[in-house]
Structure 1
Amino acid sequence: MRSPRHPATAPVGAPGHEVAALMLRATLGPMLIAHGWNKVRGPGGLDGTTGWFESLGLKPAAAHARMAAATELAAGAALTLGVAAPLPSAAAVVLMAVAARTDHRGKGFFVFKGGWEYTGVVAGAAVGLAALGHGRYSVDGLLRRRPGPAHALAAAGLGTAAAAALLALCYRPADKPQDDTPDDTSGAGKTT
């Protein structure tokens, strides 16, 4: 007698797998598109985004503002349509790793305190989606592209390497402001 298949051992392409891939794409893709659109057409537009990137220490800020917006829009569209896995997931990892290092660093875990919680969850979900694949209801599904651990490793590896390279070449945070108290010229507290 054949035993029923346990959901944990269901093959790729099982109904649960297809729905999971579709839901992840429908969540991550539009979210990235919204973030990219906000960088271009939000309250401050590209000028505001450029100023923000300048304050973060990304040089040249104008180029990074445009590059981040374009990457979010393109990766978001590719995830939504389910095309070119694992590249859009790798792009999401780059975006989140740079954000974690520049804007969320030193603020703890929780996003409501400015921490890296959000960036970590988005990057992890993107790598998970790369392993899962875009599913049957996607452009990649129509092309019969098969996902797997190699796609997850590629998304994580490419994304992390690209973020590290970008930060090494372009991240120049300003020094902390000096204390405005006057220097002690009396010689008190000095040792010779």
Structure 2
Amino acid sequence: MSAMLDGLLQADQEFFLWLNGWHSPFWDAVMAAITYKFTWVPLYFALIYILISHFKTKAFGYLLCIIAVVALSDQIASGLFKPYFMRLRPCHDPVIGALVHLVKGCGGKYGFVSSHAATGFGIATSFNKLPFTKISHASWLYGWAFLYSYSRIYVGVHYPLDIAIGAIVGVLVGLLLVAAYRWSTRNSHSPYF
């Protein structure tokens, strides 16, 4: 089992170095902007606007559910996985650290799993599971979550496996909390939930 895990981690390092090796000054600037969480504040406000315009007073309940998805996804990634597994970020790894193309700072010591991936895919899943009936499907948010997550590999702070497992965490938390929210409000007569 250990040999198989070692092989998987070695392949993850090699895949990271290959992906991280494709860079240019132009893409450094683009990916630095994409990975910066405050770049996406206008998107978050647009999503809130969509919720309010479609669901009116019930938007408050859905918004609380999505906030819970983001908070829980982040806590599972940062508060549970990172301190438990203690996998160094590529930029902190003594074996490959010198080979990493680092666009900005390295961040915290540990990177497994990516909070960016967990929260991004949690948001995408939450919006895709809301009962939209009159507006277009929100599947494009998965493309945004992928780009947001991939930027973490590009800037040198996460391995592909950090991203993949973070995405799975976000999807599962999104599915679970939206299902629980919809179940709990199925017979509610509140105009806000």
TM (norm. structure 2) is: 0.48
Question: Which structure would you say has the larger Rg?
Answer: 1
Higher-RCO chain (CA-CA 8 Å, sequence separation at least 6): 2
